[in-house]
Amino acid sequence: MAKLQPVRGTKDIWGEDALRFNHVVDVFRSVAERYSFEPISTPIFEFTEVFSRTLGEASDVVSKEMYCFEDRGGEGLTLRPEYTAGIARSYMSEGMQQFGMKKFYAYGPMFRYERPQKGRYRQFHQLDAEILGAPEPAADIEIIALAHQVLKELGMVENTVLHLNSLGDQESRQAYRDALVEYFTGHKDKLSEDSLARLEKNPLRILDSKDEGDRALLPDAPKLSYYLNETSQAFFDAVKQGLDAMDITYIHDENLVRGLDYYCHTAFEFITTDLGSQGTVIGGGRYDGLMEQMGGPQTAGIGWAGGIERLAMLLKEAPKPPRPVVFVPMGDAATNKAMQLLNMLRSNGVVADMGFRGNMKKRMKRAADANARFVAILGDNELLKGVVSLKDMDSGDQQEVSFADLLARVQA
Ligand code: ATP
Ligand code: MG
C-alpha cells in the first residue's frame, strides 16, 4: 500500500501558499529582467562530483545533506542541493567563456536532507542569480543591488538587514586561517565536537557555529578584517562605496563566513528577525576559485540564492487571485453560447469561468465563493434577445448587456 502522505520534509504547495510562492517568483523575474539578467535552467540532477568537489567535502551540505543515488546505468548522481555549481558547470560545458561575462537568473527546487522544521524542508525552492566571468567589484555591487531590489518590491526591505563581510583573497584567508587555528587550538577543551573537526578541515566555519560554547569564544578570536591584504581591502572598500552610492545600508559582520568552501572576497546575507533561526532569506558571495576547482579555466563569479518558501512566508499579505467573470448558463443552447462568449473574453485577456453544476442557486453561490466580479446569467430569454443578464457583484445591480457589448462592459 502506498502511503498517502508527502515524504517527510516535502510539501504540497497550493491555495494561498501557491499564490504567495508565485508572487515571489513573479517579482524576482520582473526585477531580474530589468537588471538585464538572462534566464537559465539547469538539470535537477548532476554528476555527484559537480557538488562534492566544489562545495567542499567537509561542508554540511556535502557531508550530511545531499541526496545521492546511483542510476540504472551505475552513474553516481545527486539531486542538486544548490544552483551555483550547476550553473558554473553549464558555463563551462556550453563554452560560454567566449562571451566573457554572463548574468543569469534561475529558480527551482533544491534537495537537502535536513531536519524539517518551519522554514526548513528537504525539498525547497530557491531564487538564484549569478554573474560569471566578472572579477570586478562592480559585479558584487550589481548582484547585491538586485537582491535588495527584489526584497524592496516584495515589501520586506525594512524587516531585513544586510550583513556584509569580506573573506579576502587566498593569501588573506590563509593568514587568517593560521591565526584562527592558533587561537582555537589554545581553547580546544571548550570547543564542540563539530568545531573540533572544523578546526582541522575548515576553521573559518567555527565562526558560523550555533553552539553556545563555541560562540563564547568568538569575541576574543582574531578578526578577519585585520588580515586582509591591500588588494583585498581595496576590493572590499570598492564594494562598500558602491553600496553607499546606492543607499543600500549594511552592517559589517565579521563572523559571516558562509558555509561553503568556494567563497572569497564578498560574502553577504539578508537576514530577517521575523523567522527565528531560519532568518536568512538570501545569502551569497564571490567564488573566483570555483570553476578552476571543477577542472576548468580560472573564472570569476559571484551570486546569491534566496529561499522562496521563506520569502513567501514573510509576505505581509497573500496576493489576491484576479476576480473572474463567471457565466451561469441554464440549458444546452445557452451553455453553448456561454462557452463561445467565455472563449471570446479569455482570448481578450479577461479572467473568466463558467458554472456548470447544480441548479441556478448553487451556481450563483459558487460564483460568489469564487469572488466573481460579474456574473453573466444566460437562459432561454437572454438567448432570444442576444444578451446576458450581467450582475455586478459589488453593487448588486443587474443589467442586460448585448453579446457585442459584453467585452467592453466587463473591461470598463
Ligand atoms: P541555513 O543557514 O538556514 O541552513 P544555508 O546557509 O544553508 O541556510 P544557502 O545554502 O545559502 O543556505 O541557501 C540560500 C537560501 O536558501 C537560504 O538563505 C534559505 O533562505 C534557503 N534555504 C536553505 N536551506 C533551506 C531549507 N532546507 N529549506 C528551506 N529554505 C532553505
Ligand atoms: Mg543550511
Residues 6+ apart with CB under 8 A from 243: 141, 144, 145, 164, 249, 250
Ligand 1 atom closest to residue 280's alpha carbon, by position in its atom list: 18
- Ligand 1 atom index nearest CA of 120: 28
- Regarding the beta carbon of 130 and ligand 1, being less than 6 Å apart is answered no
Q: What three-state secondary structure class fits 316?
A: coil
Tell me which ligand sits closest to the C-alpha of residue 277.
Answer: 1
**Over the stretch 337-378, which tens digit does the pLDDT of each residue have?**
999 999 999 999 999 999 888 888 999 999 999 999 999 999
CATH 3.30.930.10 fits 15-169+229-314, yes or no: yes
Q: Is the CB of 305 under 6 A from ligand 1?
A: yes
Domain with CATH 3.40.50.800 in the chain: 325-411
Crossing angle between the packed helical segments 137-153 and 230-245, to the nearest 10 degrees: 40
Q: Any idea which ligand is nearest the CA of 205?
A: 1
Sequence ranges of the chain with CATH classification 3.30.930.10 = 15-169+229-314
The number of the ligand 1 atom at minimal distance from the alpha carbon of 116 is 27
Q: Is the pTM of this model over 0.75?
A: yes
Return the CATH number of 325-411, one of 3.50.50.60, 3.40.50.800, 3.30.300.30, 3.40.50.300.
Answer: 3.40.50.800
Return the residue whose CA atom lies nearest to atom 30 of ligand 1. 307
CA of 284, closest atom in ligand 1 = 11
302-312 mean pLDDT: 96
Pocket test for ligand 1, best of 126, 161, 208, 277 (most atoms within 8 A of CB): 126
Q: What is the pLDDT of residues 195-245, one digit of tens each?
A: 998 888 888 888 888 889 999 999 999 999 999 999 999 999 999 999 999
Angle between helices 84-93 and 48-55 (to 10 degrees): 110
Give the model's confidence band at 2: pLDDT under 50 very low, under 70 low, under 90 confident, else very high: low
Going by CA atoms, what residue is nearest to atom 24 of ligand 1? Answer: 120
Angle at 223 between CA 206 and CA 197, to 5 degrees: 20
